Homo-oligomer: A and B are copies of this chain.
Amino acid sequence: MNPICKLLNIQYPIIQAGMVWCSGWKLASAVSNAGGLGIIGAGSMYPEVLRTHIQKCKSATDQPFGVNIPLLYPNIQEIIEVVIEEGVKIVFSSAGNPATWTGTLKEKGITVVHVIANTKFALKAQEAGVDAIVAEGFEAGGHNGREETTTLCLIPMIKETVQIPVIAAGGIGSGKAMLAAFALGADAVQIGSAFAVAEESSAHSAFKNKIISAVEGDTKLAMKKLVPVRLLKNEFADAVSIAEAEGADRNRLMELLGRARAKLGMFEGDMENGELEIGQVSALLKEIKPAKAILDEIWLEYKSGLQRFNSLFHELNL
């Protein structure tokens, strides 16, 4: 049996990434009901908002779901308390030191998965006692590693480094890419962008439409002097790009970024002044569909890829 399906008690080794302003209870419960793992993204929620989302998610599905917690979150203590109080069974942590909270969560019987982008943090996460890791490549949307290692190069590196199961992320929005991740040794996939445009995603419809219209080259890794983040091209991203080409320092970038730009763009729908976080795979996304249809198509394409390989296997007389 697939080690991630076993660990998380899910039908398909497909995990919907926790994403700010996209993945509330509606998306998470829809993915979980479809047989994957839905995740509520706590990064854009006040603790009491998160509590409401968890409660609604429990009402909307009897299947396992998780909560993604960026560990650098200002109210982290309260967020952890909410998760424990509400009896959440699975936490995906990211953006921070996995040693700080993994013990507390594990003591409460919570399964902990940590998101990393390099071998150093993969080892740290394993040492902290997490149950699995998500290895996220350069092509992923949102915040990203400084090494710029792509998923194709990262997954084999991480598999050589840790013994716990590895979930591949970054550039995966189809069954073909899922099969590629498995070829590299991944035990499961985490999919963000493709679920950001699900009907149940809480992203603004203008943002969803902009994602499915994106073409190659429309996302760029920006803000490398702060924390690297992959942005979709718009007026704001262009301004960042020009500032960076001119050698803008951290202060100028922080000033440009200002406050609450991600909410402005992704949730409120300001397509020019908002910060639009999405993966490179957006160029391959063509329509807005229910989460179940997205998951089913990915699984179907993955299976037909396996069938194609089975024919090749026999053709080569292996």
Contact = CB atoms under 8 A, between A and B. Distances in A.
Contact of A180 (B160, B183, B316): B183
Given A139-B152, A280-B153, A176 B184 contact: yes
A157 B135 CA distance: 23
A310 interface: yes
A184 B248 CA distance: 38
A33 interface: no
A172 to B, nearest CB: 7
Instruction: Quickly give the copy total for this chain.
Output: 2
A289 interface: no
Contacts of A316: 303, 306
Contacts of A184: 176-177, 180
A217 B156 contact: no
Interface string A207-219: 0000000001100
A72 interface: no
Given A156-B284, A306-B313, A171 B183 contact: no
A85 interface: no
Interface of A: 118-119, 137-139, 146-154, 156-157, 160, 170-172, 174, 176-177, 179-185, 216-217, 220-221, 225, 245-248, 280-281, 283-284, 303, 305-307, 309-310, 312-313, 316, 318
Given A139-B152, A152-B152, A177-B183, 10 more contacts: A138-B150, A139-B149, A146-B217, A147-B216, A156-B174, A157-B284, A176-B183, A182-B312, A246-B247, A310-B313
